[in-house]
Structure 1
Amino acid sequence: MQEQAKTEAEMRDAGSVWPQNAGDLIGYINSLTERTHDYGTTVYAMSMAANAAFNYVSHELGATGFQASCADLDFLRRTRMMKGPFIILKADELLYPQYNLEEKLAEFKEGCQKWVKEQATLRLAENLEAHPKVKEHWEKLSKMEIKGDENVKS
């Protein structure tokens, strides 16, 4: 299994591959790593290799679509070092009224209130070095009243 895309644009537009065995996966990764790259193609080589490995492991384990969606969110959490709840908003959903991104964001923020309050309280207790305006903001957050039940787990 070899990746044929060479340029940054070709790599950006290339589809996902689904290696069926370890040899295919290693061959594909080698086809990405054993060539000369520039700044832009390096980005795509990394993401394409990670995507191929993700698809291979998904195939080997017989993962469901739900398991795959949880795993890809966990991958983002790990690579981006996200410590708390997060949300992904897609600009293409702005094109359709049923998605109502403003409402989705408002619900997310409301669901995170308990986590935000706890984190602000912890930072104040740890007496972390921070700009006075940041500490003032933490104080405000640590005293906020929580609306309803927490919808997003910490």
Structure 2
Amino acid sequence: MREETAPTFDTVEELQGYITSLVEREHDYGTCCYAMSLAATAAFNFVASKLGVTGFQASCADLDILRRTRNLDGPFLILKGEDELYPQYDNHKKLEESRESWKEWIAEQAAKKLEDVENAHPDVVAHWKKLAG
């Protein structure tokens, strides 16, 4: 299932049939993960095709799915390991640029944590103080 490509359906009934087929087949600990991602991707493809979204809109939507499913409350970055194979990509630079752009947000969050600190380890409190400025 890992290598399967999620289809794009023309009707909600086709999509529903596909999702049902994924849910009703026998799964083990690993295959249930692929069933979930294939179903979600098929639904994503269906809605995207019906709404006629652009590639940019689709990339915003899939990042929002990641934000929601992983409970990411702040800024985040995705780095591709395969980019390390090519000199035009610089993951180290991307990470440093992102960290720099997040400084204000991090300082605000650290200050909030310092206001409500109860049981944090002294090293963590010291780190928050450093980040809060």
**Corresponding residue number in structure 1 for 2:113:** 123
CA distance in 2, matches of 1:135, 1:23: 54
2:97 is equivalent to residue 110 of structure 1: no
Task: State the TM-score, normalizing by the size of structure 1.
Answer: 0.84
Q: Number of matched residues?
A: 133
Amino acid at match of 1:94: E
**Corresponding residue number in structure 1 for 2:43:** 53
**Corresponding residue number in structure 2 for 1:88:** 78
Deviations 1:14-48 (A, max 9, x none): 11211111011001101100111100110000000
List runs of 5+ in structure 2 lacking aligned partners.
none
CA distance in 2, matches of 1:54, 1:33: 17
Amino acid at match of 2:98: F
List runs of 5+ in structure 1 lacking aligned partners.
1-10, 144-154
* Identity in percent: 54
What value does the CA root-mean-square deviation take over the aligned residues?
Answer: 0.7
Deviations 1:94-118 (A, max 9, x none): 0001111110100000000000000
Relative distance call for 1:98 and 1:61 in structure 2 (3 A) is same
2:23 is equivalent to residue 18 of structure 1: no
CA distance in 2, matches of 1:142, 1:94: 33
Deviations 1:108-147 (A, max 9, x none): 000000000000001001224211111110000001xxxx
Task: State the TM-score, normalizing by the size of structure 2.
Answer: 0.97
**Corresponding residue number in structure 1 for 2:127:** 137
